[in-house]
Chain A
Amino acid sequence: MHMYLCLVILLKTNKLLCLGACLVLTSTLIVGQDTLWINASTWTPQATSMPVLRLNDAPEFNIKNAPVFRSANQESSVVIVNTDSVEHDFAVWAEDPMGISSIGAQDTLDINLPAVAAGTYGCGLIDVKGRWLGAQSLFASESITDTLPTFLWNLAEWDVNRMNAIAENGDPADFENYIPQYFTINEAMHPATLEDSTAWVTLPVNTSALIRIHNAGAMDHVLHFHGFHVSILSSTHHPERVGWSKDTQPLEVNEGMTLLLHADQAGTYPVHDHNLIAVTNAGLYPGGMLTQIQVDP
């Protein structure tokens, strides 16, 4: 695996955090996936199809990008398998990329990942095709004290015409207007967001949860929480906002953010982009970047 000796092995599934049985040997953690695959396919959310790229944690194509987990403040590595027919550039980023690695077509590369403070970041492909076709995900840098239930929202929007053109080696600068038709959380549009246990927040009343968010889109998004204010624990683009309590929280392009939700009232409450063009699917309301917080009594 890596050169580290294990203290704790944290195995992440979509929602489940399993604290494995451990031997206290050193103070080093190994967290998360050791291999990621760059997979190409097409996506047909409704009537129209578009070419897409994804960062998956298995050789098979999955429409959802795999979130990447690592321990805070520790260097690590990951093996990237590029199954696509062109070279791609991979990075982890806060405001800017922290080192860029190129992976040739059909090639495999062992990449060192940077040590970053606890928080939520972005990772994935930053070349034109890789970015615009959607192989960007959420990078969770976890503290050993992060024991709360954690939900993960990778935001994006999709302009079918632009994606088709870029797949044919078009230049994004050739487009005057950016008019996305689809808006997603974890590459799913409402109501499919409610079938994703990492997007649909469920928790008992008077308990708390972490919500990690990354904006993998090419435009800013602004999430409005019904029923609750959330506290900002980390932000890659607005560290001055750490400690703020907000019900409407913007995320700039490439921004990663960790929010603390304390669910002090029971009920079901929407969370949605308050740029209201983004709560539609191909122009039809409701849809898009819309999920829910369900607080059980």
Chain B
Amino acid sequence: MNLLMTLQVVGGTLLGLYSVLGVSKATGQEPVVHHLFASMEGTLTTAGGGSIPIWGYGWEEDGEISLPAPMLSCMEGDSVHVVMTNPSPESHTIHLHGLDVSQAHDGVPSTSFYVPTDSTAIYKFRADHSGTFLYHCHVTTTLHLTMGMYGMFVVNRPDGSLYEGGAIPDAIHPFLFSDLEVATNLNPTGAFPFHDIRPNYFMINGLMGSQLTTPEAVIHYSPGETLALRFASMAYSRMNLLFPAELNATAVMSDGRPLPEALPLDTLKIYPGERFTVLITPPSMDATGWDGTLPCEFHMMADDELEYTDYIHFNDLTAGFEEMSASSLVAFPNPTTGMVELQRIVPSERGPWQLLNTNGQVVQSGMATAQANALVLDLSNLPAGTYFWRDEQGQQVKILRICAE
């Protein structure tokens, strides 16, 4: 029995006890704290409206678990505390996959500790590297993962770059691939033998099929933008991502480290536990005829058989619109920290307008009067990012990109 197990048994709760073990490379700054709880009573709603039992993690304040578990994040250099309460009837842990934490906080029962029923523990580490990581339970891992106990952990940089000296994308989108075998989830106590788990539900961010086509799941973009796609896999399958040539896809990071050289991609294999960050510059759908999908194949590891193909869907916000040229409507200042004036409004552009975010949601709307040559917008209450002003006067639908800082 090691020190941690002794503390666990004697103390009943581990909260607060780990300070004696220290955190490697701690800076003394205030830690970022995430409060999770583990549960074995959750459901996943399928595209057909059915329910599959899952285990997982959720925000403690919400009281509900999700698949995947909540995405955790921090800034590079942060000290991080992940507090996990376990009211469920079995022990669980959190393994911080790829974050190279110390043995004491590694989440492997045999080398660190369990979090038994009705106990709380803190996992501590310092996020030395930006990038895409994972967390998952490491108790009877083969079973607890197929039941759904996993999520993403993303380490960002304050300046928005992917890594020191790396690209600053216009937007970053996370994608977590996973799968499950329904029979196992329906009867986890009868799941043996584990060597023959054959998944039959295949998910991207916990969604499948038509669930990936909803406005919330679709990636909205404007041509010319550079998007960073953070891919991670907790699947039992191997992924094959088939990048259309129009996306100009290049891998720039893997497993939380920059690649020595960007790697142009047409197909990217992602194995269980791997992560990649890929830059794309999706084109105008009108100009190229690209259908706005990125096929994601799930292949059986044992025999390489193609099990399922799902799709990441993209929406070109300018599709069907005419993007304004600099010679007509202009926005000043752009980028803006608050107020922005749209100048040189011509009669055909007067009338109703909308301001959309990159998810395609209308965040402001109004009316340009018949006499207006200019229009002032207040973006000070909006999050930093790219917005699109859309004039919908008659058939002259136009769009202008505005950056809020």
Contacts and interface: CB of A to CB of B under 8 A. Distances in A.
B97 interface: yes
B274 A248 contact: yes
With most chain A CB atoms within 10 A of its CB, the pick from B140, B257, B271 is B271
Interface of A is mostly: loop
A265 interface: yes
Interface in A144-202: 177-181, 183
B279 interface: no
A14 B19 CA distance: 41
Contacts of A214: none
Interface residues of A, number: 41
Contact of B256 (A228, A247, A277, A284): A247
A229 B255 contact: yes
Contact of B108 (A219, A270, A278): A270
Nearest to B301: A275
Contacts of B140: 285
Contact of A246 (B192, B255, B301): B255
Interface stretch (B78-86, B193-201, B333-341, B348-356): B193-201
B255 A248 contact: yes
A200 to B, nearest CB: 13
B103 interface: yes
Interface stretch (B141-149, B214-222, B370-378): B141-149
Contacts of B100: 227-229, 247, 265
Given A220-B301, A224-B97, A282 B193 contact: yes
Nearest to B139: A285
Interface stretch (A22-30, A96-104, A237-245): A237-245
B257 A245 contact: yes
A283 interface: yes
A279 interface: yes
B272 A282 contact: no
A244 to B, nearest CB: 6
B360 interface: no
B35 interface: no
A276 B303 contact: no
B255 A243 contact: no
Contacts of A222: 271-274
Given A282-B193, A285-B143, A250 B106 contact: no
Given A222-B271, A269-B111, A283-B192, A179 B302 contact: yes
Contact of A220 (B197, B257, B271): B271
B238 interface: yes
Contact of A180 (B195, B271, B272): B195
Contact of B145 (A179, A276, A278): A276
Nearest to A177: B303
B101 interface: yes
Interface string B87-103: 00000000101101111
Contacts of B273: 222, 224, 248, 274
A276 B271 contact: no
Interface string B28-57: 000000000000000000000000000000
A234 interface: no
Interface in A233-269: 240, 243-248, 250, 265-269
A285 B97 CA distance: 19
Interface string B323-350: 0000000000000000000000000000
B259 interface: yes
Interface in B289-316: 301-304
Contacts of A270: 108, 111
A120 interface: no
Given A177-B303, A244-B254, A244-B260, A276 B272 contact: yes
A220 B143 CA distance: 21
Interface in B203-253: 236, 238
A240 B304 CA distance: 23
A177 B305 CA distance: 9
Interface in A65-109: none
A56 interface: no
A274 B272 contact: yes
Contacts of B271: 220, 222, 248, 250, 274-275
Contacts of A183: 195
B301 A265 contact: no
A183 B272 CA distance: 16
Contacts of A136: none
B142 A247 contact: no
A250 B269 contact: yes
B257 A283 contact: no
Contacts of A240: 263
List the 5 closest pairs (A to B, CB-CB), nearest first.
A283-B193, A267-B103, A274-B273, A222-B271, A248-B273
23 contacts: A178-B302, A179-B302, A183-B195, A219-B302, A220-B304, A222-B271, A222-B273, A224-B97, A248-B271, A248-B275, A265-B24, A268-B103, A269-B106, A270-B111, A276-B142, A277-B142, A277-B197, A280-B194, A282-B193, A283-B194, A283-B196, A285-B194, A286-B141
Interface of B: 24, 95, 97-98, 100-104, 106, 108, 111, 140-143, 145-146, 192-197, 236, 238, 254-257, 259-260, 263, 269, 271-275, 301-304
